[in-house]
């Protein structure tokens, strides 16, 4: 599936100093369907061996990275820009959550002229107040008070994932919640095909199971009903499909044969 | 804010080969409030300069990492385990979305006895089918078809962020679902008490089950692994608690006695 909305988003790294970070950022961009990497006055060589090694198959994103002199140049042509920051700022511009703000970067309909940017600061200092003013919104990735500062490439990973996830949900024409239920198989309690074994077949199985459990001396007539009720609950939770039920019946048949068949050889 | 729910989760890396990845994973764990790193048969030195450099202030998480020999040892004491996988599997076990599955790892109330694990495979091959069977649920991080394979530490970052985010939302008295579309479904397929049987007890049961199924002629050595994998999936979906597991073990013991005990009276 082509997620065209993502192709109009630039990931802007301001003065990145670590080639490993630049390479890892390119890789996760490629993973998440983002193409446009812009490096503002990089403090490392994006064509270095370290950067290329970390990019792996994101090497094309890395190779196509545009190098510019300052942030306004990186944002030229953009309609919207969001900055990431780890700090709480004295001016008290409200900091958005990534989930709230990032969807705002996505175009709502295909148009060649649209461009938007997500900006990350240098590893050591983050974006300065002077840099932040070039963007309309600021997001902070929620993190532990003990150590809130994410590695640059990790921050790119989290934001890229959230953008991809948002577009994927939109592309499926559904709220994310529905996407979870429909495009991906329902979480648990349901067999893989989604079709449970018919209840009358389950009934037949339970009856045969009870007979075998009585035969092997696990059940006694007076304990059978309550024990069988517990076994039913357990299996109902699993929700076997027909194939799985056939497997359980196969076990039962073989067990029955082993305890009462003509040729018991232990 | 202390997010106690996160302190009972182990991040398990199976045979990680890159010290940079191990260090970066430790850093983002610390960022996201996760403490327990377990390395299964690591193929690199977690105390190396590279690892420590990437961990930065997550050095304490890295230094406290537990090294074990195999995955079952890493999961000992856990009630719940989720594996991450990039592949679509022939057996077509449903792959959950991280947003759907990961909240299932979180305890609903403070209890010292609860532990859960999130498992990541080696950089080059991911988790094998043999390794996947030790966990109850599998998640795949949605990514571009062009290049779906995330860097190990990036995958840890995305999942750790989502766990942190979920707990934060709970702590704030909101479902993250509201930001994302109410995607967090309560874990189904779980025993009613909420406490699953410990995974090492489940392992013991599966081993005994295999012996009995071989004995009654349901399994043959060459079919055993794939059949056992199917049975594991079925039971993992059901999520037995300790009492239910004891019941299953009772059946097994009695069946074993019936087919091999001294007094078979049919």
Q: What is the ipTM of this complex?
A: 0.79
Phi and psi dihedrals of A10, rounded to 5? -100, 140
CA distances (Å), B204 to each of A44, A184, B1, B262, in order?
53, 32, 39, 24
Token output for A212: 């075998």
Rounded CA gap, A183 and B170, in Å?
26
Which residue shows structure tokens 């030195």? B45
Contact pairs from chain A to chain B, CB under 8 Å: 231
Cβ separation of A27 and B247 shorter than 8 Å?
no
User: Chain B contacts of A158, Cβ < 8 Å?
Assistant: 157-158, 161
Do the beta carbons of residue B139 and residue A188 sit within 8 Å?
no
What does the pLDDT look like over A31-90, one tens digit per residue?
999 999 999 999 999 999 999 999 999 999 999 999 999 999 999 888 889 999 987 655
CA distances (Å), A166 to each of A161, B63, B144, B172, in order?
9, 36, 13, 23
Rounded CA gap, B154 and A50, in Å?
17
> How high is the pLDDT of residue B189?
42
What's the DSSP call for residue B6? G
Residues 4-63 of chain B with CB under 8 A from chain A are 20, 24, 27-28, 30-33, 54, 56-58
In order of their start, the domains of chain A are 4-182 (3.40.1280.10), 199-260 (1.10.8)
Query: Given A100, A184, A247, which is nearest B96 (Cβ)?
Result: A184
Region class of A173: left (phi > 0), else alpha (psi between -120 and 50), else beta: left
* Residue to substitute from A152, A174, A180, interface B, most B β-carbons within 10 A: A180
Query: Given B32, B143, B187, which is nearest A144 (Cβ)?
Result: B32
Token output for B95: 């792959």
pLDDT, average across residues B230-240: 87
A134-148, A153-167, A173-187: which has the minimum mean pLDDT? A173-187
pLDDT, average across residues A118-122: 97
Residues 213-232 of chain A with CB under 8 A from chain B are 213, 215-218, 227, 230-231
Count how many Cα atoms sit within 13 Å of the Cα of residue A232 in the half-sphere of its side chain.
Answer: 16
Query: Given A58, A186, A260, which is nearest B147 (Cβ)?
Result: A58
> How high is the pLDDT of residue B190?
43
Rounded CA gap, B122 and B22, in Å?
11
Phi and psi dihedrals of B118, rounded to 5? -120, 120
pLDDT, average across residues B158-162: 97
C-alpha distance from B126 to closest chain A C-alpha (Å): 16
User: Chain A contacts of B165, Cβ < 8 Å?
Assistant: 99, 142
pLDDT, average across residues B238-265: 84
Cβ separation of A164 and B144 shorter than 8 Å?
yes
Rounded CA gap, A71 and A82, in Å?
12
Residue B262: which pLDDT band, with cuts at 50, 70 and 90? low
Rounded CA gap, A56 and B105, in Å?
32
What does the pLDDT look like over B51-110, one tens digit per residue?
999 999 999 999 999 999 999 999 998 989 999 998 766 555 668 899 999 999 998 777
CA distances (Å), B157 to each of A203, A238, B150, B206, in order?
46, 31, 10, 33
Cα–Cα–Cα angle for B112, B13, B3, nearest 5°?
35
Query: What 3-state class would DSSP assign to A80?
Result: strand
Cβ separation of B187 and A188 shorter than 8 Å?
yes
Residue B188 predicted with pLDDT over 50: no
C-alpha distance from B21 to closest chain A C-alpha (Å): 11
Sign of the Cα torsion B115, B118, B119, B120 reads negative
> How high is the pLDDT of residue B250?
94
* Residue to substitute from B120, B145, B151, B259, interface A, most A β-carbons within 10 A: B151
Do the beta carbons of residue B200 and residue B76 sit within 8 Å?
yes
Cβ separation of A184 and B95 shorter than 8 Å?
yes
Rounded CA gap, B192 and B195, in Å?
8
Region class of A92: left (phi > 0), else alpha (psi between -120 and 50), else beta: left
> How high is the pLDDT of residue A175?
44
């Amino acid at each position: 599936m082509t997620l065209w909305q993502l192709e109009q988003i630039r990931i802007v790294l301001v003065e990145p100093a670590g080639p490993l970070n630049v390479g890892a950022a390119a890789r996760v961009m490629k993973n998440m369907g983002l193409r446009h990497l812009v490096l503002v006055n990089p403090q490392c060589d994006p064509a270095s061996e370290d950067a290329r090694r970390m990019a792996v198959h994101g090497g094309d994103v890395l190779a196509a990275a545009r190098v510019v002199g300052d942030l306004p140049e990186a944002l030229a042509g953009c309609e919207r820009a969001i900055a990431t920051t780890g700090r709480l700022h004295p001016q008290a511009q409200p900091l958005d959550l990534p989930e709230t703000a990032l969807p705002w970067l996505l175009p709502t309909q295909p148009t060649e002229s649209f461009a938007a940017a997500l900006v990350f600061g240098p590893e050591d200092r983050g974006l300065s107040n002077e840099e932040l003013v070039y963007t309309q919104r600021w997001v902070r990735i929620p993190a532990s008070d003990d150590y809130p500062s994410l590695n640059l490439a990790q921050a790119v990973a989290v934001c890229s994932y959230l953008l991809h996830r948002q577009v994927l949900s939109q592309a499926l024409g559904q709220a994310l919640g529905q996407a979870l239920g429909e495009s991906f198989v329902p979480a648990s309690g349901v067999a893989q095909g989604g079709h449970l074994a018919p209840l009358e077949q389950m009934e037949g199985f339970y009856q045969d199971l009870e007979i075998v459990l009585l035969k092997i001396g696990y059940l006694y007539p007076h304990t059978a009903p309550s024990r069988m009720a517990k076994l039913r609950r357990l299996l109902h939770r699993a929700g076997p499909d027909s194939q799985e039920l056939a497997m359980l019946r196969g076990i039962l048949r073989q067990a029955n044969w082993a305890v009462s068949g003509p040729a018991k050889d232990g």
